[in-house]
Amino acid sequence: MWLAMDTATDRLSVALGTSGDEAEEESLDGARRHAAALLPTIESLLRLRRATLDDVRGLALSDGPGSFTGLRVGASLVKALVQSRGLPLWTAPSLLVRAAGAAREGGLVLAVSNALRGEVYAAAYRFHGSGIETVLPPTVQQPEALLGSRLAPDQLVGEAPAAIVALLERELGRTMSGPPEGAPSGRALIGLIGRPGGASRVERVQEWEPVYGRPAEAQARWETAHGRALPDSVGSSR
């Protein structure tokens, strides 16, 4: 069975099962709770399924963009499991996982999440029976620039500050589906494994890093104050 995790947002989601339709899932809301809650949540699901880690045949993780700390928590755990148990790892953008949980056949889904500083992470996907088409890859931008791309989504999912949600809803003529329906879910992530355009296999796991989307806030403040990139950083402020 698959063990799937999304730690990219304030909502932790973990699922365990052989397919998305039959997977058991548990979630927890709250920033900065992932590190303490991730392992107990996995243990709870294993007990629920009367299974052990020996029954897990593969791992799946939402790989960002999103919370720097949350992504590090998830990445550290899957790397440890891959190294200790030799399990394969599959990843998918957290925005794709959001979209997949609410998508309708043939529709274009615009998924967004809060990138702070008045910006959003955004991506758009079209879901077909034969696979998933990425219309807009995950990116970070001002809401006005996103609207300038002239996307015409059939669905709008995700979360952002109220003023940004109101702007997007007004200009796109769509009501945003927020959490829990519009949140990334481990169950939806399992459903992306093996689907064309969905989750991807990570071949060199120990060299792999999540897609943070932008530097951590502490790093951004340091770079702004010093006028240069932080040495050995994962990105740089714009």
Encode pLDDT of 113-145 as tens digits. 999 889 999 999 999 988 999 999 999 999 999
Mean pLDDT for 193-200 is 96
Q: Please report the pLDDT score of residue 84 as a whole number.
A: 95
pLDDT at 209 over 50: yes
Encode pLDDT of 20-46 as tens digits. 889 999 999 886 788 899 999 999 999
Handedness of CA 151, 116, 182, 102 (dihedral sign): positive
pTM for the model stands at 0.88
What percent of the chain has pLDDT above 70?
Answer: 89
Give, in order, the Cα–Cα distances in Å from 233 to each of 49, 57, 226: 40, 33, 14
Domains, the chain, ordered by start: 2-94+184-225 (3.30.420.40), 95-177 (3.30.420.200)
Check residues 1 and 215 and name the one with the higher pLDDT.
1
